[in-house]
Amino acid sequence: MLRLAPLGPAHAAQMNAWMHVAEIAENLGLRSEPSLARTLEWIARATEDDSILPFAILSDEVHVGNVVFDRIDAYLSSARLSIYVGVAGVGQPALRLALDWAFSQRVPSLNKVWLTVHVENARAIAAYTKVGFRVEGTLRDEFVLRGRRTDALMMSVLRRDMVSE
């Protein structure tokens, strides 16, 4: 069973391990070497900040990834979504779970969830599209991947696309 749980210090070691996986680190656009201490510091800051909602993705109570809503804008009723998974096969179901939580349960007035993804992350783009995200535009040279610049897509999904009124 897949569920979201509040992210906490108990999840730090697994997060740090995933950030040392080259594909995950590249797709996250990490700018410095990850460490357990930095991961714990980020969790502490994120859980204290009202504009960030960080979650662990649990599959049968095993930590398999993270989803974070941040840049929450009450006036625009929007939030940015970041997600990464360390286990194959849970990305799309975790996306659906996170969007259901955001639109139906936690933030009923939320209108839009948006994200950016570099254009070479075809697996993520396909998953985002399958759950309802649409491309809003291209951010030219927005991402540095393996030392070279590449474009990023801005994608979003609206509440009305996910929730029947």
pLDDT, residue 25, reads: 85
Residue 4's DSSP bridge partners are 57
Q: What is the mean pLDDT of residues 47-72?
A: 95
Q: Which amino acid appears at position 159 of this protein? A: R
Q: What is the largest CA-CA distance in the chain?
A: 46
Q: What is the mean pLDDT of residues 132-158?
A: 96
Q: What is the mean pLDDT of residues 31-50?
A: 94
Q: Alpha carbon of 57 to those of 46, 97, 158: distances in Å?
A: 16, 9, 22
Is it the case that residue 52 has pLDDT exceeding 80?
Answer: yes
Is it the case that residue 165 has pLDDT exceeding 80?
Answer: no
Q: What are phi and psi of 43, to 5 degrees?
A: -60, -45
Q: Which of 5-9, 117-121, 160-164 has the lowest mean pLDDT?
A: 160-164
- Coil vs helix vs strand at 23: helix
Structure tokens at 16: 């740090």
What domains lie within the chain, and their CATH numbers?
2-162 (3.40.630.30)
